[in-house]
Structure 1
Amino acid sequence: MIGVVIPAHNEEALLRHCLESVLTAAAHPLLDEPVEILVVLDSCSDGSARIAEQMGIKTLTTRGRNVGEARWTGAESLIGAGARWLAFTDADTLVSPQWLVRQLDCRADAVCGTVSVDSWDTHSPRVQARYESLYQPVEGHRHIHGANLGVCSIAYQRAGGFKHLQAHEDVHLVRDLERAGARIVWTASNSVVTSARKESRCRQGFADYLLSLETA
Structure 2
Amino acid sequence: MTAPGACAVVVPAHEEGASLTATLHSLRAAARHPEAAGVPVLLVVVADACTDGTVAVAEAAGAYVVREGFRNVGRARASGAAAALRLLAGYGDGLWLATTDADTVVPPRWLAHQLHHARQGWDCVVGTVRLAPHPLLSATTAARHDAHYFADRPPGPGAWRHPHVHGANLGVAAAPYLAAGGFPPLAHSEDRCLVAELERAGRRILRTDTCPVLTSGRVDSRAPHGFGAFLTSLANR
TM-score class, shorter-chain normalisation, is over 0.9
Cα distance in 1, alignment partners of residues 7 and 224 from structure 2 = 29
Cα distance in 2, alignment partners of residues 177 and 185 from structure 1 = 11
How far apart are residue 121 of structure 1 and its match? Answer: 4.2
Which residue of 109, 122, 126 maps to 1:98? Answer: 109
Which residue of 80, 98, 122 maps to 2:86? Answer: 80
1:124 matches 2:138: yes
How far apart are residue 151 of structure 1 and its match? Answer: 0.4
Task: Spell out structure 1 runs of 4+ moving beyond 4 A.
Answer: none
Cα distance in 2, alignment partners of residues 22 and 92 from structure 1 = 12
Cα distance in 1, alignment partners of residues 78 and 221 from structure 2 = 20
Counterpart position of 1:24: 29
Counterpart position of 1:180: 201
Q: After superposition, give the CA deviation of every residue in 1:135-177 in whole Å (9 maximum; x if it has no partner).
A: 1266211110000000001110111100000011111111011
Once the two structures are overlaid, the 10-residue window that deviates more, 43-52 or 98-107, is 98-107
Letter of the structure 1 residue corresponding to residue 141 of structure 2: V
Counterpart position of 1:200: 221
**SS of structure 1 residue aligned to 2:228:** helix
TM-score, length-scaled by structure 1? 0.96
Change in CA separation of 1:120 and 1:13 when aligned onto 2, cut-off 3 Å: closer
TM-score, length-scaled by structure 2? 0.88
Cα distance in 2, alignment partners of residues 38 and 55 from structure 1 = 11
**SS of structure 1 residue aligned to 2:188:** coil
The 5 A counterparts of 1:45-64 are 45-64=51-70
How far apart are residue 109 of structure 1 and its match? Answer: 0.3
**Identity level (%):** 44
The CA RMSD measured in Å over matched residues stands at 1.3
Once the two structures are overlaid, the 10-residue window that deviates more, 47-56 or 122-131, is 122-131
**SS of structure 2 residue aligned to 1:103:** helix
Letter of the structure 2 residue corresponding to residue 15 of structure 1: L
Structure 2's unaligned 5+ residue stretches are 1-5, 154-158
- Count the aligned residue pairs: 216
Cα distance in 2, alignment partners of residues 215 and 43 from structure 1 = 29
Counterpart position of 2:179: 158
Counterpart position of 2:147: 133
Structure 1's unaligned 5+ residue stretches are none
Cα distance in 1, alignment partners of residues 77 and 230 from structure 2 = 20
Cα distance in 1, alignment partners of residues 108 and 137 from structure 2 = 28
Which protein is richer in helix relative to its size?
2
Which residue of 113, 122, 128 maps to 1:114? Answer: 128
Which residue of 167, 173, 179 maps to 1:146? Answer: 167
Letter of the structure 2 residue corresponding to residue 123 of structure 1: L
Counterpart position of 2:3: none
Cα distance in 2, alignment partners of residues 126 and 198 from structure 1 = 13
Cα distance in 2, alignment partners of residues 16 and 71 from structure 1 = 19
1:43 matches 2:57: no
Change in CA separation of 1:214 and 1:10 when aligned onto 2, cut-off 3 Å: same
Once the two structures are overlaid, the 10-residue window that deviates more, 76-85 or 56-65, is 76-85
